[in-house]
Amino acid sequence: MDLGLSGKHIVITGGSKGIGLAIVNGFLQEGAFVHVISRGIMNREDIRDITNYEAQIFEYHCDVTLEEELYVVFEAINKNANCMIDAVVANVGNGAGKTLPVTEKDEWDASWNINFNSSANTTRIFLNALKKSHGSLIFISSIAGEEFIGAPTSYSVAKHALLSFTKILSHRLAPEVRVNAIAPGNIYSEDGTWGKKKKENPSAVHHMLNEKVPLKRFGYPEEVAALVLFLTSEKASFITGSCINIDGGQTIRFS
């Protein structure tokens, strides 16, 4: 499907592995210019057909929870994108943490920074650029922000706040900028959380999938990426303020 993304300039935070890397690959294959922000160094071997896409990918390093670092990166991206940034995908997050009712302040603050402030900083810094392009802003949230699934409290609260942020922004930025969220469920990658759990206790993972997920399998980063690409494209031009789950049916609420 031609999504009309060729030549667009897309910014992706947390794009060096997992879901973020799959999103990077998806946009490259659509012919977009992709600006990847991450703390780590991207392994170029993870980019499919990298020799074909070398001219389309730009890499920047910073901690997006630090607004001053991100602003420096924004200036570089704006220059490389000829002052036309068409979409931003805020993908930074980390579900690690204790499942205590309320964790220690240091852990709580760290989780809030990476799971909410990273997206708030990204929005604040790239907002005027998105208004100029009438672009799209997408947050990667989690089903843990929608209902209780046993995830760490701090993570769930931060991801829920991100959904409120999505809805508020969608009203206050319309019609210039479309704002949506995606809430993945159990997404598998070998070097991710579920990859580790599967190696440690495959029978427990198999039981969880059969009991909790109607489709009885993991989702994959490429499936999340496909949804991101669609929401960014003009084919989703009437979608804003939405949170779309990609969880194999795991969530059980009616709304």
- Where are the extended beta strands (E) located within 103-192? 136-140, 178-184
For residue 40, CA distances in Å to 18, 119, 179 come to 13, 18, 27
159 catalytically annotated: yes
Q: Distance between CA atoms of 56 and 119, rounded to whole angstroms?
A: 24
Taking phi over 0 as left and psi of -120 to 50 as alpha, with beta for the rest, 150 belongs to left
For residue 31, CA distances in Å to 5, 8, 39, 176 come to 6, 8, 25, 24
> 148, 215, 144: which is closest to 185 by C-alpha?
144
Q: Tell me which of 8, 16, 38, 155 is the catalytic residue.
A: 155
Q: Tell me which of 141, 156, 170, 233 is the catalytic residue.
A: 141
Q: Tell me which of 16, 38, 118, 142 is the catalytic residue.
A: 142
DSSP class of 42? P
- The answer to whether 250 touches 186, Cβ cutoff 8 Å, is yes
Q: Distance between CA atoms of 77 and 20, rounded to whole angstroms?
A: 18
142 catalytically annotated: yes
Q: Tell me which of 17, 111, 118, 159 is the catalytic residue.
A: 159
Alpha helices, DSSP H, located in 7-133:
18-29, 50-53, 67-80, 105-112, 118-133
Residues marked as catalytic: 141-142, 155, 159
